[in-house]
Structure 1
Amino acid sequence: MSPPSYPIQLAIVEDDARVRSLLQEYLGHQPEFNCTIVVDSVEALWAELDLSLPPRVLLLDVSLPGQTGIEALPELRKALPGTDIILQTMHDDPERIFQALRAGATGYVIKNATSLSQYKQAIFDVLAGGAALSPSVARKALRHFQPAPSQQPELLSPRETEVLQALTEGLSEKQVAARLNLSPDTVHTYVKRLYDKLKVRSRGELLSRAAKGDL
């Protein structure tokens, strides 16, 4: 995986003016980021996208006036294939988590449980190929959507199965390497094999299928 190009272009869609201002103020002053779009609705986001380059990372509120973040996700994924989308919300109920993963979110953070520095780390996590999940979200996702046994258990080697399990827990490739005592390059090779064998094209698709027990 190639390293990101700095500064990272960010878009923030948040209808709470206080939260929006805090995120823009903090992230906009980090040397790694450039907040190119800061709006209060999906409709305003579309208008800005017509005038700006696509963001590398999008922080998208779930509960928005007009079209909600989850409702907009499928269309946004099609329009912004190179953008990682992190949903932010006050809710961590399993159904919302499932909808977000199935729709293509690469992160899901709880606003009142996520510090500004943790937002920054969440962005770095998705850029590194991980899935940015608040701890409570990760626990509920793993408990509620524990991947079902593979329909073709002989398809994956024991090591590939270990890598797959770590990926579905939201670990980045670097974190998988540390857990399994492998080099990052070796883990990256295993990930490419998993994509080929399981016929998925992205981390989001892999997590979505794992959440549905469809691996």
Structure 2
Amino acid sequence: MTAEALTVWIVEDNRMLRRNLAELIEEQPGMSCPVAVESCEEFLAALEAGGAPDVVLMDLGLPGRGGTEGIQRIQSLSPSTQVIVLTIHEEDEKVFEAICAGASGYLLKPSPPARILEAIVEVRRGAAPINAFIARKMLSMFGRLPANRSAAGDYGLTPREREILQLLVDGLTMKEIARRLNLSYHTIGNHLRNIYHKLHVRSRSGAVAKALREDLV
């Protein structure tokens, strides 16, 4: 395992699922899982001790302190860490709360191993999916607020970038956007990086929130 390995922490109270996730990650070249705990309290202790994972898989249904509180602490202690929340129900209010708290995306439990690994890679590219339900919730919330368009106007987004941003708001994944626009996955990734840079955000959820709040699409 090299120093450049992607570090993934797991916070999951189901012992078997936690173990299986840790083993899956450790089996992947270029990934490591040094921390796999069952509670938010244990996670926060490890985080406050100086840990800084690249990605966290965070169960939302934790006993004691909830996953949303853990996400908020991550934002203050390790803002570069990306969080993928784990949930049983896709259309869950808690998922929306977690996204608002700073989570970059979510996975349903159980998800196929290939989907879990894909999500970890995607989230590091700022491209974890948000489904149409979450997008509608964000639209509803920000729709009640007055528009706050930046002095930068459209942030210098190109027509293609604006088109992709609209598809993000619609809840499409990177693969779905690539198919819709007949572009390669790699090209979509490049466009997303440019969009995030121009909007001064670091995740898909941040881009969607800003697009809705400032009426960019």
Give me the TM-score of the superposition, normalised by structure 2: 0.75
Q: 1:165 and 2:172 equivalent?
A: no
Structure-1 residue corresponding to 2:35: 37
Contact 1:98–1:211, Cα closer than 8 Å, also in 2 = no
2:104 counterpart (87, 91, 106): 106
Q: For the structure 1 residues 171 and 104, does the alpha-carbon distance in structure 2 shift closer, same or farther, using more than 3 Å as the test?
A: same
Q: Identity of counterpart residues, as a percentage? A: 31
Q: How many residues align?
A: 203
The separation in 1 between residues aligned to 2:14 and 2:87, in whole angstroms, is 11
Q: 1:93 and 2:86 equivalent?
A: no
CA-based RMSD of the aligned residues comes to 3.4
Q: Secondary structure at the match of 1:31?
A: coil
Contact 2:47–2:77, Cα closer than 8 Å, also in 1 = no
Structure-1 residue corresponding to 2:9: 11
1:110: how far off?
1.1
1:121 counterpart (118, 143, 155): 118
Q: Deviations over 1:51-94 (max 9, x none)?
A: 45411010011011111011221221121111110000112235
Contact 1:10–1:33, Cα closer than 8 Å, also in 2 = yes
The separation in 2 between residues aligned to 1:85 and 1:40, in whole angstroms, is 16
Q: Deviations over 1:106-160 (max 9, x none)?
A: 1111113x11221111101112220245xxxx132245445879956x7365333
Structure-2 residue corresponding to 1:54: 52
Structure-2 residue corresponding to 1:207: 208
Name stretches of at least 5 consecutive residues in structure 1 with no aligned partner: none
1:164: how far off?
1.0
Q: For the structure 1 residues 141 and 46, does the alpha-carbon distance in structure 2 shift closer, same or farther, using more than 3 Å as the test?
A: closer
Letter in 2 for 1:89: T
The separation in 2 between residues aligned to 1:97 and 1:211, in whole angstroms, is 18
Contact 2:44–2:70, Cα closer than 8 Å, also in 1 = no
The separation in 1 between residues aligned to 2:120 and 2:41, in whole angstroms, is 23
